[in-house]
Amino acid sequence: MLKQFLPDEHVKSILDINPNELKKRGIKGIITDLDNTLVEWDRPNATPQLISWFDEMKKHNILVTIVSNNNEDRVKAFSDPLRIPFIFRARKPMGPAFQKAISQMGIKKEETVVIGDQLLTDVLGGNRSGLYTILVVPVAQTDGFFTKFNRFAERRIMNWFRKRGLIQWED
């Protein structure tokens, strides 16, 4: 049961994800979370480093779609200046938003990776949808109100994985 929460890979930052490595895996599209994956949950815009990362993905013909449980105003304000497609109020870990993003990108699920900072939404949702998952360390030490509840459960799951040598993690 807990294996559904285990990511295929984990990295410190989304900036550590290399387009050449993705292409070697046959990845053509990224479904990424927004808050605490790309930027802090309370930062309205992308950082210069993140903009460069998006540009690198585009140069390598890797599509990106932001899939967030947040509201339309928040996700649109972040995504529109970058011209990145998005899905808001995604209801992750439920599958329909993942399937919609794959369909909109016009790729196969085997060509898709899900990147996020939460086991209970991003990793579980990606794994349940049969997608490759990458867990990133949250970019902020603080969380929005609802995410605080998830973090408590995630710490317990992560400790279980750590004790069994399934994952190494930085707090």
CA 47/CA 31 separation, integer angstroms = 19
Q: Which of 21, 22, 78, 87 is nearest to 50 (CA)?
A: 78
CA 10/CA 115 separation, integer angstroms = 9
List, for residues 65-116, the tens digit of each pLDDT value: 999 999 999 999 999 999 999 999 999 999 899 999 999 999 999 999 999 9
Say how far residue 80 (Cα) sits from the centre of its chain: 18
* Residues 17 and 115: beta-carbon distance below 8 Å: yes
Could you tell me the pTM of the whole model?
0.89
Topology of domain 2-163, per CATH?
Rossmann fold (3.40.50)
List, for residues 133-149, the tens digit of each pLDDT value: 999 999 877 666 666 66
State the sign of the Cα–Cα–Cα–Cα dihedral 61, 65, 66, 72. Answer: positive
151: which 2 tokens?
């973090």
